[in-house]
Amino acid sequence: MQTTVFKNGGSQAIRIPALYRFHGETVDVQWDERLGALLVREEPTHAMTSFFAWLDVQPEFSLPKTIPVTSDGRLDLVAFMDLEEELDEAAK
């Protein structure tokens, strides 16, 4: 596919067809010696970005006011699971 090259201030720019439109405000540009080509890629997102996007769409939930812990300060999983069942029953 061919596209046009033009000047934008002191820089050179290319017109990118709508089919290849970038979603962000910036891109990563790198010359690849092996390919002999200029690579233009969307900047990678932080590893946690997709996690926070997933977290935003999760349903609301509530935690108990107190978290049961064992005498050595660890989560008492059995007591915690009992609390979860109590919360589920109270929500019904």
Confidence of residue 32 (pLDDT cuts 50, 70, 90): very high
Encode pLDDT of 83-92 as tens digits: 877 666 666 6
pLDDT value, residue 70? 92
- Please state, in angstroms and rounded to a whole number, the distance separating the CA atoms of residues 85 and 45: 38
Q: Domain coordinates of the chain in residue numbers?
A: 5-42, 60-91
What would the two tokens of residue 9 be? 């201030």
For the whole model, what pTM was predicted?
Answer: 0.42
Encode pLDDT of 41-92 as tens digits: 887 767 787 788 888 898 887 777 788 899 999 999 988 888 877 666 666 6
Concatenating the DSSP letter of every residue in 3-71 gives --EEEETTEEEEPPPGGG--SSS-EEEEEETTTTEEEEEEPPPPTTHHHHHHHHTSPP----SS--B-T
pLDDT value, residue 12? 92
